[in-house]
Structure formats: structure tokens, C-alpha cells
């Protein structure tokens, strides 16, 4: 059970605190961008602010998913609640795609509707937003990688997408300001281009979320590491099979271990427990291990 393992609990705690940092930043930046977009006549910046507002919802979903996935196993959920994290990642990915589509539609409509040239001060706000959002992306993605959380990495891409839309807005506003009359729509074209990036990233993360829900096997390196750790346990002759699936921030392992066929059942049982303990104590984030004992081929 995740809550009974200090290492696993630490992974959940890091995930929660990281999402809270992003959530707080989204609230502040969304307000700044919307107000600046309205006062500065920037449709791209206003669209960017709306996306940040929806990112707040996404952050809340991811936060809830991580918290639920940290709940221990119970009678109705013998394997824990880890899939809540994958569902949160899927929801956040869908929000990202819908945001991109919404911005694309709004930008397309605004292109044919002339409006005022954006104000120069909007560029200063965008520079600040780009720096903050890229920093948040690197921070969240790094933590997501370290705790193997897809929802955190999806949340990180929300920040990267925000940075990309801000870069596009910066370029569009700059063209509109430098070009003057007749170039006002550059702001909207920039928002349209950014929407494509957002949709692409949303679909990319959605595919990964679906894979996790479908118990897609982790990368081969993870399995090889598990085989290596189990194989070093005294008394283990070989590893026959190894199946690994991810549930939330945790891994569940089914492994077939070969031992001397003449060994007493009790001794084989001890080895099985040592294999399980070695894997759970590793840094891989393994929540539970089912060890099946087989007689070695040469026995």
C-alpha cells in the first residue's frame, strides 16, 4: 500500500507540492494576462490568459488525481487507486486539446475582424510570462521524471504550451506594432499558430495516458533493472518471466524466479520474500511484487 511505504509516500508528497506551485502560478499569471490583454488590445495575450484559466482547472484535476492515487489499497481496490493518476493525466490532456481548438476557432474569427494594434507594454508582460512558464515547465517535468508521474509531465506541458503561445503572441504583437496599420491581425495569426502546438502536445500526452490505463509495459530498461536486482538475490538461479505494469506513480511486478529444484519449500519461500523486499526497497517505485518460484532448468 503506497501510504505505508515512506519512499512511495515521499513521491506522492513531492507530486502534490509541485502541482501546488504550478497552480498558484497559473492563478496569478492568468489574471495578469487577461487584464493586460484587455487593456493592451492583444487578442493573443487574452487567449493566452484564458488558456491559463483553464490550466487552473487542469491543475486541480491533476492534484486530485495524485491525492486519490496515494490512497492505500482497500477491499474494493486491492491494487490501490493508482489509475486515478492516469485518469487525471487523460483529463488534463483532453483539456489541453480543447483549449487549443478553442483558441484556433477564436483566432480564425478574429483574423477577419479588424481591431486595434496591441499596446507596447504587452510585450514586457509576455517576456515575464515566457520566463516564468518555461521555468515551471522544467521544474514540473523534472519532478515528473523523478517520480515517474505522467500527470505531472502532462501538467508540465501545459506550462510549456503556455510559454509557446506567449512566444507566438510576442512575435505577433511585435509584427503588429512594427508593421502598423494593416498588420493588426498578426497578433491573431500568432495565436492560431500557437493553437496547433497546443493541440499537438495535448494529443501526444493523451496517447501516453491511454497507454497507462491499458497497462502498457514500461520501457525495457525498467524491466532489465528489475531482472538484475532480482537476479542478484542469493539462491536465485535465473529469472524466467517478468511482467511490469504502472499504476499511478507505482509499479506492480509479477516475476517468475528459478531456484534449485531440490530446494525445500520453506527455503524457496524465503528467497521469494528476499526478491520481493529487494525490489520494493529499490528506487524504482515498486508498490508490490508477486513472486512465482520455478525449478531451475538444470535441476
The SS3 of residue 287 is: strand
Same fold across 2-213 and 220-295: no
One DSSP character per residue, 233-276 reads STT--EEEEEEEEEETTEEEEEEEEEE-TTS-HHHHHHHHHHHH
For domain 220-295, the CATH superfamily is: Cation efflux protein, cytoplasmic domain (3.30.70.1350)
CATH topology of domain 2-213: Alpha-lytic protease prodomain-like (1.20.1510)
- pLDDT at residue 2 in the model: 41
- Domain ranges in the chain are 2-213, 220-295
Strand ranges for the chain from DSSP E: 238-247, 250-259, 286-295
Q: Which residues of the chain have pLDDT under 70?
A: 1-9, 11, 43-44, 47-48, 51, 54, 114-117, 184, 298-299
Q: What are the strands, taking DSSP E only, across 61-191?
A: none
What does the pLDDT read at residue 9?
A: 67
249-258 per-position pLDDT tens digit: 778 899 999 9
Predicted local distance difference test score (pLDDT) of residue 44 = 65
Do residues 10 and 149 lie in contact, with contact meaning Cβ atoms separated by under 8 Å?
no
Name residues whose C-beta falls within 8 Å of residue 184's C-beta, 6 or more positions apart in sequence: 114, 115, 116, 117, 176
Q: What is the pTM of this model?
A: 0.65
Amino acid at each position: 500500500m503506497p501510504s505505508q511505504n515512506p519512499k512511495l509516500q515521499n513521491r506522492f508528497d513531492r507530486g502534490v507540492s509541485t502541482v501546488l506551485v504550478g497552480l498558484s502560478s497559473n492563478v496569478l499569471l492568468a489574471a495578469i494576462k487577461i487584464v493586460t490583454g484587455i487593456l493592451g488590445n492583444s487578442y493573443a495575450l487574452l487567449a493566452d490568459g484564458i488558456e491559463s484559466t483553464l490550466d487552473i482547472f487542469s491543475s486541480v484535476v491533476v492534484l486530485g488525481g495524485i491525492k486519490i492515487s496515494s490512497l492505500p489499497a482497500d477491499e474494493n481496490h486491492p491494487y490501490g487507486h493508482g489509475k486515478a493518476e492516469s485518469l487525471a493525466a487523460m483529463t488534463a490532456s483532453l483539456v489541453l486539446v480543447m483549449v487549443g481548438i478553442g483558441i484556433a476557432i477564436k483566432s480564425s474569427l478574429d483574423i477577419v475582424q479588424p481591431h486595434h494594434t496591441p499596446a507596447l507594454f504587452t510585450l514586457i508582460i509576455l517576456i515575464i510570462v515566457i520566463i516564468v512558464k518555461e521555468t515551471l515547465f522544467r521544474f514540473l517535468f523534472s519532478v515528473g521524471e523523478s517520480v515517474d508521474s505522467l500527470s505531472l509531465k502532462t501538467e508540465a506541458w501545459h506550462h510549456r504550451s503556455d510559454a509557446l503561445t506567449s512566444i507566438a503572441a510576442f512575435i505577433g504583437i511585435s509584427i503588429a506594432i512594427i508593421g502598423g496599420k494593416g498588420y493588426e491581425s498578426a497578433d491573431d495569426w500568432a495565436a492560431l499558430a500557437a493553437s496547433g502546438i497546443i493541440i499537438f502536445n495535448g494529443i501526444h500526452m493523451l496517447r501516453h495516458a491511454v497507454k497507462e490505463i491499458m497497462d502498457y509495459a514500461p520501457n525495457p530498461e525498467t524491466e532489465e533493472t528489475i531482472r538484475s536486482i532480482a537476479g542478484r538475490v542469493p539462491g536465485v538461479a535465473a529469472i524466467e518471466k517478468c511482467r511490469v505494469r504502472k499504476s499511478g506513480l507505482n509499479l506492480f511486478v509479477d516475476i517468475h524466479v528459478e531456484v534449485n529444484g531440490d530446494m525445500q519449500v520453506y527455503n524457496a519461500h524465503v528467497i521469494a520474500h528476499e526478491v520481493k523486499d529487494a525490489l520494493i526497497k529499490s528506487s524504482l517505485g515498486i508498490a508490490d511484487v508477486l513472486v512465482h518460484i520455478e525449478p531451475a532448468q538444470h535441476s
